[in-house]
């Protein structure tokens, strides 16, 4: 759970938050399946004459194999480089000419392309996307140029950042069998060795109608959108979705530790425990997942939460500042297994072991003493407020529905998620703190700052 203090200065009741949001009066979300198996999800919102179009493909880094890491991300770049009808760069020019803006992203679980345009230009955007989805093509020289852009992106975001390199190495340690162990952008050696045909093969294999969803939110009529979708996307031939082989993460039977030495101004510690994912069901794992989300909120869900008070402000430690910053995180949903993390940047004069001990102590205190009713309600209210107010953005409405589709959840998953959250008890939060945060399944990563003069000796 992310910090929510910027959304609310005061803790409001959930009922007041719900009453305050005009997005909640929007017509119901409608979902369809085109004749070729592609999904279509439409969320009308008539407050402004605009529409967001998102094309989601259920393929990401999780679907890559060793030796071709980063190919999903590379294909995302190449989708802007031409089709049977468009020359390189023309897609973006066409969207701009329609008065729209566009972008895309690749995650571990999916690749998504999105545009926001005046509502009356939606059909043109859908036709452009259907064309590149079905007939993405470009000369090899375009790939040669773009792969250099991707290499530079990796250098800037990862290789020039000691913390990013730590997290990349740490991630590869946390996961042993799961494809989550590979970086989304890919290992540099795999990017170097990637060929144009690798990208074309990946497109042909995974960009099939039954593995994709179109999500439209905004000033639209669902039946009209369905008609447009059938004329554009519905013409794409049917292809089978490839069989995905299970790559199950084996249980962890002992603690793991990584010390990453690099030139850096400050150190960093990160702890991670394997945790269940939320599937939307009424099973034990999903109930635990909701309780873990609440636990993360208690630790770091609002200004002045437990980690900030204890480690940054020094409350309960005799005023000693343990960390310059501290946070927690939990994935909650995903196509693969999830982890719960806690991290801190040790303050000057504080060792990594002291910071690690302080992070563990806060979780152990919850396991021992539980949480009080006031902070439990505050976390629930903050999360509810965040979920409601984010829907004031038409883009967020589309992204939320795409995320639900990706994870096999129904269109009303948001309401079900909020209901499940409200049902989480203090006893359940204490119980998951006791069961999941044990040393046998602990992964520890430490960034050890090195002096610049010693860099070449490492």
Q: What is the pLDDT of residues 346-388, one digit of tens each?
A: 999 999 999 999 999 999 999 999 999 999 999 999 888 888 8
Say which range, 26-30, 64-68, 147-151, has the weakest mean pLDDT. Answer: 26-30
The reply to whether 294 and 419 lie within a common domain is yes
Helix ranges (H only) for 207-338 are 222-232, 284-300, 306-307
Query: DSSP 3-state helix, strand, coil percentages of the chain (rounded to 5)?
Result: 50, 20, 35
Model confidence at 18: pLDDT above 60: no
Same domain, 447 and 311: yes
Same domain, 201 and 96: yes
User: What Cα–Cα distance (Å) separates residue 228 from each residue in 30, 95, 177, 214?
Assistant: 15, 17, 42, 11
Within a domain: 251: no
In a domain, 68, yes or no: yes
More confident residue, 11 or 388: 388
Same domain, 221 and 289: no
385 shares a domain with 311? yes
Cα separation, 202 vs 147, in Å, equals 16
One domain, residues 112 and 147: yes
Residues 334 and 448 in one domain: yes
- Residue 16 falls within a domain, yes or no? no
pLDDT given at position 1: 35
Residue 227 sits in the same domain as residue 298:
no
Residues 297 and 226 reside in one and the same domain: no
Please report, rounded to a whole number, the percentage of residues in the chain having pLDDT higher than 70.
Answer: 92
Residues 197, 61: Cα–Cα separation, whole Å: 18
- Report yes or no: 185 and 72 within 8 Å, Cβ to Cβ: no
Read off the pLDDT of each residue in 425-437 and give the average, rounded to a whole number: 97
Q: Do 333 and 412 lie in a common domain?
A: yes
Asked if residue 148 has pLDDT above 50, the reply is yes
**Sign of the dihedral through C-alpha 182, 188, 194, 196:** positive
Measured between alpha carbons, how far is residue 406 from residues 44, 179, 381, 411 in Å?
20, 17, 26, 11
* Residue 63 placed within a domain: yes
Mean pLDDT of the region 396-421: 95
Q: What is the pLDDT of residue 390?
A: 82
User: DSSP letters of 414-437?
Assistant: HHHHHHHHHT--HHHHHHHHHHH-
Joined tokens for residue 323: 């960390």
Domain membership of residue 240 (yes or no) is no
Range of the domain at 393: 256-457
At 295, which CATH number? 3.30.830.10
Mean pLDDT of 263-274: 97
Residue 227 sits in the same domain as residue 264: no
**Confidence at residue 25, expressed as pLDDT on a 0 to 100 scale:** 46
Mean per-residue pLDDT of the chain: 91
Q: For residues 322 and 347, what is the distance between their CA atoms, to the nearest angstrom?
A: 6
CA distance 344 to 311: 8
Nearest to 339 by CA among 181, 135, 186, 189: 181
Cβ proximity of 248 and 274 under 8 Å? no
Which pLDDT score is estimated for 7? 24
Please give the pLDDT value at position 385.
Answer: 86
Q: Does 360 reside within a domain?
A: yes
Determine the average pLDDT of the residues in 98-110.
97
- Strand 50-57 and strand 111-118: the pairing is antiparallel
Spatial separation of the C-alpha atoms in residues 236 and 59, rounded to whole Å:
18
Count up the domains in the chain and report the number.
2
User: 384: how many CB neighbours lie within 10 A of its CB?
Assistant: 20
Q: Has residue 11 been placed in a domain?
A: no
Please give the pLDDT value at position 364: 97
| pLDDT at residue 266 tops 90 | yes
- Reported as a single tens digit per residue, the pLDDT across 24-53 is 445 699 999 999 999 999 999 999 999 999
Q: Is residue 241 part of a domain?
A: no
Q: Spell out a b/e string for 33-44, using b for 16 or more CB atoms within 10 Å of the CB, else e.
A: ebebbbbbbbbb
pLDDT digits (tens, 9 = 90+) for 313-339: 998 767 789 999 999 999 999 999 999
Give pLDDT tens digits for 236-261: 999 999 999 988 999 999 999 999 99
Give the pLDDT band (50/70/90) at residue 4: very low
Predicted TM-score (pTM) of the model is 0.91
Same domain? For 215 and 293 the reply is no
Q: Please give the pLDDT value at position 187.
A: 98
């Amino acid at each position: 759970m992310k910090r929510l203090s910027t959304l609310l200065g005061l803790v409001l009741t959930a009922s007041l938050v719900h009453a305050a949001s005009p997005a909640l009066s929007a017509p119901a979300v409608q979902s369809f399946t085109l004749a070729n198996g592609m999904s279509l999800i439409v969320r009308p919102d008539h407050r402004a004459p605009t529409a967001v179009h998102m094309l989601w493909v259920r393929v990401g880094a999780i679907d890559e194999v060793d030796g071709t890491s980063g190919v999903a991300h590379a294909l995302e770049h190449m989708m802007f480089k031409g089709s049977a009808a468009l020359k390189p760069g023309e897609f973006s020019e066409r969207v701009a000419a329609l008065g729209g803006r566009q972008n895309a992203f690749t995650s571990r679980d999916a690749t998504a392309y999105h545009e926001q345009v005046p509502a009356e230009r939606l059909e043109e955007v859908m036709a452009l996307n259907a064309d590149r989805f079905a007939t993405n093509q470009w000369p090899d020289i375009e790939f040669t140029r773009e792969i250099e852009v991707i290499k530079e992106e990796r250098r800037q975001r990862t290789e020039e950042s000691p913390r990013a390199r730590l997290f990349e190495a740490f991630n590869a340690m946390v996961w042993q069998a799961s494809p989550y162990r590979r970086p989304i952008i890919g290992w540099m050696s795999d990017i170097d060795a990637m060929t144009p045909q690798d990208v074309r093969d990946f497109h042909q294999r995974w960009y099939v109608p039954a593995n994709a969803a179109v999500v439209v939110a905004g000033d639209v009529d669902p039946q009209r959108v369905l008609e447009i979708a059938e004329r554009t996307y519905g013409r794409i031939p049917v292809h089978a979705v490839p069989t995905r082989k299970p790559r199950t993460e084996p249980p962890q039977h002992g603690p793991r530790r990584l010390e990453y030495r690099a030139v850096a101004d400050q150190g960093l510690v990160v702890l991670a425990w394997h945790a269940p994912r939320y599937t939307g069901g009424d099973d034990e794992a999903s109930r635990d997942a909701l309780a873990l989300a609440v636990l993360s909120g208690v630790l770091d869900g609002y200004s002045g939460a437990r980690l900030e008070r204890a480690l940054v402000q020094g409350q309960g430690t005799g005023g000693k500042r343990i960390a310059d910053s501290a946070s927690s995180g939990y994935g909650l949903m995903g196509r693969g297994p999830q982890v719960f993390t806690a991290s801190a940047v040790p303050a000057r004069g504080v060792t990594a072991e002291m910071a690690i001990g302080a992070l563990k102590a806060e979780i152990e205190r919850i396991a021992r003493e539980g949480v009080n009713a006031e902070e439990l309600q505050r976390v629930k209210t903050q999360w509810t407020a965040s979920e409601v107010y984010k829907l004031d953005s038409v883009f967020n409405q589309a992204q939320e529905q795409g995320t639900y589709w990706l994870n096999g959840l129904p269109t009303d998953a948001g309401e079900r998620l909020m209901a499940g959250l409200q049902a989480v008890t203090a006893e359940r939060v204490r119980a998951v703190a006791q069961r999941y945060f044990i040393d046998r399944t602990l992964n520890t990563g430490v960034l050890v700052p090195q002096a610049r003069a010693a860099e070449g000796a490492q």
